Amino acid sequence: MNEQNGKKPGAPSNEQTLTNRQGHPITDNQNIRTVGSRGPATLENYHFLEKISHFDRERIPERVVHARGAGAHGVFEAYGKVGDEPVSKYTRAKLFQEPGKQTPVFVRFSSVIHGGHSPETLRDPRGFAVKFYTEEGNWDLVGNNLKIFFIRDPLKFPDMVHAFKPDPITNAQDMRRFFDFVSMSPEATHMVTFVFSPWGIPANYRQMQGSGVNTYKWVNAEGEAVLVKYHWEPLKQGIKNLTQREANEIQATNFNHATLDLYHAIEEGDYPEWELCVQIMSDDEHPELDFDPLDPTKLWPTDQFPFLPVGKMTLNRNPEDYFTEVEQAAFGTGVLVDGLEFSDDKLLQGRTFSYSDTQRHRVGSNYLQLPINAPKNRVATNQSGGQMQYKVDRAPGQNPHVNYEPSSMGGLKEAPQQGKPHEPYYDAKLVREKIDRPNDFKQAGETYRSFEDWERDELISNLVTALKICNPDIQERMVSYFSQADADYGRRVKEGLKQEASGMKEGVQQNSPAAAEKAERKGHEAD
């Protein structure tokens, strides 16, 4: 041992002793092996090469969307009812049946567009993904804070994300590109109305709602289905959104505020809680409605389809390691348990391919063997091989020579059917067609009118600030969409843009962040 070379005196070998991943104790973690103290280095520096090459591979590809996130563990407790009715009337999913039944969960909240360390104050939908580790395997409810989405066809998703993400040359988000896409996609008008209002910047992850957005199905023991939408309603912590100015103030000093807010609330025992509610509709096309129940750009009116509580979720434990649990967590809309089904919602069906496809690339082909993703019940498959497999999914007593099915020699067997299967009947041409009843603007107008005055002022100010740099034809298309939603909405955006164009600093624009920035710059110049 030589302290002069920067080595610490060796401690006796015990539980704290540093080893490499081969289990070899490390006696010197300060100096690489060299010919003489001044080098050169030798290639048999196993500890150094292992350490540096692992470091070189520390990052996995970040999520292509929803890269910035925070997670927590918790528990879901079922009410055993849906509203006042027994839940078994609508679904046979075991996790909902008994009042008080607890299911462990892991939740990952996120923002969508920017990278892994981007500010958490940005205007963006927020992800709200919940993994239920049920007794019958995992169920992932991969939702957002807002209840609707920009588009209804999954073919448009990669283009939408390209337009919203940073420009391929400047590497900066550009509202000209954002609104170019949106102005060619009128179905986005409703979502844009939410995103540019204060609902586009939730104060933190605790004080926001969640929604499955897409339409799913519940299936009962008779194989009968209903359409459902899922919603998470914050309980004691309530809902809070930010004005653009409030968000700017937070962002000036802290771009991790939502992650830290969640972490500290849980550390201090102030556990956030949400109630899970469903809206239910019979499983048909509902010609009496002016929208299609499978259209994710639409809200289901709560006077006709009330929120019915089915359980409560409490987040009560922080992750022990961010990378192991939060970064490697993999959620997907295909991850359902018996009694929960897809609907024909096209966006949902497109999503369902995309999640596990990206996770095989992002995390690896055995991503489901990682503890955060593995179900907590028994797993017995005949799948094996692929990078990073570390165990075989073998059942106790299974003949280890039989990794196929069917077999008469002691292999795995199919499970019995649990209830009558749900077997929807299809009789239609295979087509490429938009749904009937797109009705792109009516609900956007209703949402605009449902806002409080300060929310509407914010919406107009934020839209004018974003749209003022856009080409005139893009501005015109957007104003026409807002006008078709609500005449006052369109008029106010148009006037705001006109004032901007003529350099007038009156009305709502005086309060805009851009105006505040300009005024501040002037102030500095005068100093």
| Residue with tokens 């209703």, as numbered in its chain | 446
Q: Across the strands, what pairs with 277?
A: 231, 309
Q: Residue 144 catalytic? A: yes
Looking at residue 53, its amino acid is S
Nearer to ligand HEM, 359 or 403 (CB): 359
From the number of C-beta atoms within 10 Å of its C-beta (0-12, 13-18, 19+), residue 482 rates as buried
Residue nearest to ligand HEM (CB): 127
Q: Judged by CB under 6 A, which stretch of 62-70, 194-202, 433-441, 503-511 contacts ligand HEM? A: 62-70
The C-alpha atoms of residue 105 and residue 438 are separated, in whole angstroms, by 36
Shortest Cβ distance from residue 162 to ligand HEM (Å)? 13
Interaction of residue 330 with ligand HEM, rule CB under 6 A: yes
CB neighbour class for 447 (10 Å; exposed up to 12, middle 13-18, buried from 19): buried
- Please tell me the distance from the alpha carbon of residue 80 to that of residue 103, in angstroms, as a whole number: 13
Shorter beta-carbon distance to ligand HEM: residue 79 or 150:
150
Run of H or E including 229: strand 225-234
**Burial class of 419 by CB neighbour count within 10 A (0 to 12, 13 to 18, 19+):** middle
Q: Is 64 in the site for ligand HEM (CB under 6 A)?
A: yes
Does residue 286 carry a catalytic annotation?
no
Taking the C-alpha atoms of residue 97 and residue 93, their distance in angstroms, rounded to an integer, is: 7
Sign (positive/negative) of CA torsion 20, 24, 28, 31?
A: negative
Per rule CB under 6 A, is residue 354 in the interface with ligand HEM? Answer: yes
Number of residues that bind ligand HEM (CB under 6 A): 28
Smallest gap from Cβ 111 to ligand HEM, in A, equals: 10
Binding string to ligand HEM for residues 279 to 318, with x set by CB under 6 A, is what?
A: -----------------x----------------------
Between 79 and 300, CB nearer to ligand HEM: 300
- Whether 333 and 127 have beta carbons less than 8 Å apart is answered as no
Pair 462, 197: CB distance under 8 Å: yes
Q: Which is nearer to ligand HEM, 353 or 454 (CB)?
A: 353
- Which lies closer to ligand HEM via its Cβ, residue 143 or residue 293? 143
Catalytic residue among 47, 73, 144, 231: 144
Among the listed residues 192, 195, 225, 329, the single contact to ligand HEM using CB under 6 A: 329
Site string for ligand HEM, 485-524 (x = CB under 6 A): ----------------------------------------
* Cis amide bond preceding 40, omega within 30: yes
Contact 359, 129 (CB under 8 A): no
Catalytic residue among 47, 66, 114, 190: 66
Cis peptide before 296 (omega within 30 of 0): no
Amino acid identity for residue 448 in this structure: Y
Q: Does 365 bind ligand HEM (CB under 6 A)?
A: no
Question: How would you label 352-388 residue by residue, b for 16+ Cβ within 10 Å and e otherwise?
Answer: bebbbebbbebbbebbbbbebbebeeeeeeeeeeeee
**Rounded to whole angstroms, how far apart are CA atoms 52 and 59?**
13
Residue 69 binding ligand HEM, by CB under 6 A: yes
Please check if 271 is assigned to a binding site.
no
Does residue 65 touch ligand HEM according to CB under 6 A?
A: yes
What do you get for the CA distance between the two ends of the chain, in Å?
60
Binding span for ligand HEM by CB under 6 A among 277-285, 345-353, 498-506, 514-522: 345-353
Q: Which two tokens stand for residue 109?
A: 């909240």
Report, in Å, the least distance between residue 152 CB and ligand HEM.
9
Binding mask 138-177 for ligand HEM (x = CB under 6 A): ----xxx----x----x--x--------------------
Task: Tell which positions 115-144 bind ligand HEM, by CB under 6 A.
Answer: 127, 129, 142-144
Residue closer to ligand HEM by CB (options 125, 496) is 125
Dihedral sign for Cα 55, 59, 60, 61, please.
negative
Binding site residues, as ranges? 355
- Known catalytic residues are 66, 144
Residues of this chain that interact with ligand HEM (CB under 6 A) are 63-66, 69, 108, 110, 127, 129, 142-144, 149, 154, 157, 213, 296, 329-331, 347, 350-351, 354-355, 358-359, 362
Binding site residues for heme, as ranges? 355
